[in-house]
Amino acid sequence: MQDCALDKGLLDEIMDVARVMSADGKPADYIPELALTPPELFALSCAPAGGETVETGDTERFFTMQSISKTLALAFAVEHFGAANVFRHVGMEPSADSFNSLMRIEMTSSKPSNPFMNAGAIAACSLIHTAYRESSAERLFGFFTEITGRDDGFDEKVCASEKRSADRNRALAYFMKSVGLLHGDVESILDFYFKLCSIRCTSGGLAQLGAMFASGGVSPVSGRRLIKRETAHIVVGLMSTCGLYNGSGEFAVRVGLPGKSGVSGGILAVVPGRMGIGVFSPALDAKGNSLAGMKALELLSDRLNLRGF
Ligand code: GLN
């Protein structure tokens, strides 16, 4: 297949085809504030290594990172505490369960399958919170700011809305504590987790985050190394096997790239050595993944010949 050039014309074409998919889904509503997001929004950004970001759609629109921030928590925890220590508390295997499932933990009382399930991310947050207490959120916000070169803060409304409706995450965290899988004050750990999920970003910010992982840990904005190459490999490796929860297999087949989704409708994708991609469209499938976002990545992967496998 002939590779196309990455330009705005190509992204416009992809947007026109992909955004139609939104009609088959709807924005997440278990966090009431997210249900207010207009479902027709769409943004797509590509940050190629050493080049200018190319983008289209509602690229000025802020949304919250939700589960995409789990890549930040994992990278930060591995960098600060070492991989061996982190993976004593959380596994590195995919799971066929939904992202907020309690079932396996209750049945086995063993550590969460991977750091991209809610249980695994809450375990990573607990490690960070044990070390950095009340400064944990600021440190993670600072980490994202260093990557993107901008500070867009976090969305207090979405954070408060999640906190009010977080019965399931609360159940998960208290259960983990009861069987010795979580240590510390559950409410403080969850407050930190909700803040991480509420970090504000744009599709361009996600593309920069992807570019950082694609380069093996160097900020695309400042050129500074922010994480070790081995840390980037761990995050990208887990993105390729677990990044879209129980939709990871389908994503691997259709898109062929490491990805990480969030229930606000964002998807981060990494083309190792080549580029970072951020896409946003709030209508989700039943597994909590953006319908138009997945379609756009599939088309982009085909047109630019990006598949890694
Ligand atoms: N904040 C969300 C939650 O904990 C994140 C889940 C997601 O994006 N899949 O439910």
Tens of pLDDT, residue by residue over 257-271, are 999 999 999 999 999
Is residue 91 a part of any domain in this protein? yes
CB of 69 shorter than 6 A to ligand 1: no
**DSSP label at residue 282:** -
pLDDT of 308 reads: 84
CB contact at 8 A, 115 and 83: no
Helix or strand (DSSP H, E) at 280? strand 275-280
Is residue 308 a part of any domain in this protein? no
Q: Which residue, 197, 223, 246, sits at the end of a domain?
A: 197
Residues 58 and 71 in one domain: no
Q: Report phi then psi at 225, rounded to 5.
A: -75, 125
Q: How does 269-297 read in b/e, with b if 16+ C-beta sit within 10 Å?
A: bbbbebbbbbbbbbbbbeebbbbbbbbbb
Catalytic residue at 67?
yes
**Residue 82 alpha carbon to ligand 1 centre in Å:** 25
Residues 174 and 120 in one domain: yes
Is residue 309 a part of any domain in this protein? no
| Residue in 199, 197, 305, 306 with CA at minimum distance from that of residue 258 | 306
Place of tokens 């970072």: 276
CB of 197 shorter than 6 A to ligand 1: yes
pLDDT tens-digit profile, the chain (309 residues): 446 899 999 999 999 999 999 999 999 999 999 999 999 999 999 999 989 999 999 999 999 999 999 999 999 999 999 999 999 999 999 998 889 888 888 888 789 999 999 999 999 999 999 999 999 999 999 999 999 999 999 999 999 999 999 999 999 999 999 999 999 999 999 999 999 999 999 999 999 999 999 999 999 999 999 999 999 999 999 999 999 999 999 999 999 999 999 999 999 999 999 999 999 999 999 999 999 999 999 999 999 999 988
Average pLDDT, the chain: 96
Residue 214, phi-psi category: left (phi > 0), alpha (psi -120 to 50), beta (remainder) = alpha
**Residue 235 alpha carbon to ligand 1 centre in Å:** 18
Helix or strand (DSSP H, E) at 267? strand 266-271
Residues 127 and 206 in one domain: no
Number of folded domains in the chain? 2
pLDDT of 202 reads: 98
Residues 205 and 281 in one domain: yes
Closest ligand 1 atom to the C-alpha of 121?
4
Closest ligand 1 atom to the C-alpha of 100?
10
CATH number of domain containing 180: 3.40.710.10
CB of 290 shorter than 6 A to ligand 1: no
Give the active site residue among 263, 270, 271, 279: 263
Handedness of CA 103, 99, 74, 275 (dihedral sign): positive
What residues make up the domain containing 89?
Answer: 67-197
CB of 99 shorter than 6 A to ligand 1: yes
Residues 168 and 81 in one domain: yes
How far apart are the C-alpha atoms of 225 and 215, rounded to whole Å?
10
Is residue 267 a part of any domain in this protein? yes
Give the residue, out of 29, 30, 31, with the most ligand 1 atoms within 8 A of its beta carbon, to mutate for a pocket test: 31
